[in-house]
Amino acid sequence: MYSRLLFILAAFSCVPCLAVDYADNNSWLCRPDSLNACDTNLDSTIVTADGTLTLEPYKPLRDPKVDCFYVYPTVSSDPGGNSDMKAGPEETGVIHAQFARFGSVCRTFAPLYRQVTLTALRSLFTDKPMKIDPALGYNDVVDAWNHYLKHDNQGRGVVLIGHSQGSGVLNQLIASQIDGKAIQSQILSAMLIGTSDVVVPEGKDTGGSFKNMALCRNPDDLQCLLTFASFRTEIPPPNDSRFGRPRTGTGNSACNNPANLAGGLGELKAYFSTAGLTIATAQSQQDWLTPPADISTPFVQVPGLLNGQCVKDRGFSYLSVNVNSQPADPRTDNITGDVIVEGAILKDWGLHLIDMHLGMGNMLDLVRSQTNAYLKTHSGAH
């Protein structure tokens, strides 16, 4: 969504703004050395196909050997065109949904940044579009990244993680600050989720958006990319879809399946909000089991219920997500995550609101595998 609108928004800008002080812990949502939004209850209930419920307590990793640096999607409801630097429930909520669980595999860093707000994006559909500065949030993230490298990194391996606007920002940062430069050797992977602007030539895994970073094809690949935009199998991208193909130029939107990097079908290891919360809305989630069961954890896992595969069709490239409905399976077949307005599904959005939820377990597995591979090839790594 973010990158698709930059062209429209480029004509509007805010007055010059002072740089953010990332030496101040208040400029971060998550840091390993302070109380932060990543310190939250992430316990989940595993709901298996026979109706068994098993508690999975969340356990942060005691001594992570690598770091994760995250840029969050468009969530701010601040009244201006660009958000302020005060964390609200939107920012903390998206940390809980998309990033805090990475504390089980890495040290977590998530800067606040002055992103383009939901308020500004909605104003585009009125006759009074708001003034915004598309470069402001990007420059904030560059400053946060450079502060992290100077004061926190100390030669450690890093996973970059972003969704939607966050992926757009990281796309720019990688192209200008990382791709082909010395720091690339410390990148385990860049997970740019919920975007169509990582572009590759037809039949290639590199050479489009980035010249030196290819798509991850094996769990122990390093300096590679994971990227996809998700759609239900039964609701593929319509011709006017927001995701699934590049906005301009040639090539394909890159897609590699977090559940099967090499290609083909794979089981998506999802972590869903028990209550049906997404990054932007609270939707009505049906009971996870029939008959209903009391599930008190904030998250639910449903092993074996979801499969995904990257599909190319009509110029689109996307992650097709299928719910494996089985008559004998007492679990719900209704996974919330569509963008719904006045009762109608907006098909052009796909499952954008739960992109990260769908492959969370797979992404955690990938970081574990890449950490082992990185430590084997970097004997001096922390």
Split at pLDDT 50, 70, 90, the class of 280 is confident
Report whether pLDDT(8) > 50: no
**Alpha-carbon span 307 to 305, nearest angstrom:** 7
- Cα–Cα separations (whole angstroms), residue 154 to 41, 268, 286, 320, 380: 29, 34, 47, 39, 11
pLDDT at res. 16: 52
pTM equals 0.94
Using the structure block, give the residue that is written with the tokens 């969504």.
1
CB 83 within 8 A of CB 124: no
- Asked if the model's pLDDT at residue 282 lies above 80, the reply is no
CB of 256 closer than 8 Å to CB of 217: yes
> Residue range 347-368: average pLDDT?
98
Q: Which of 23, 37, 64 is nearest to 148 (CA)?
A: 23
Q: Pick from 18, 19, 25: which is nearest to 152 by CA? A: 25
- pLDDT above 60 for 164: yes
* Residue 235 backbone phi and psi in degrees, to 5: -130, 75
For 304-359, where are the alpha helices, taking DSSP H only? 355-358
pLDDT tops 80 at residue 361: yes
Distance CA 194, CA 73 (A): 9
**Residue 167 clears pLDDT 80, i.e. is over it:** yes
Residue 2: pLDDT band (50, 70, 90) is very low
pLDDT at 118: 87
- Residue 186 near residue 235, CB atoms below 8 Å: no
What lies within 8 Å, CB to CB, of 308 at 6+ separation is 230, 257, 258, 259, 260, 265, 266, 268, 319, 320, 321, 322, 358, 359
Span of 155-169, 328-342, 344-358 with lowest mean pLDDT: 328-342
**DSSP string across 44-110:** EEEE-TTS-EEEE-----SS-SEEEEEE--S----SSSB--SS--HHHHHHHHHHTGGGGGTSEEEE
Q: How far, in Å, CA of 306 to CA of 266, rounded?
A: 9
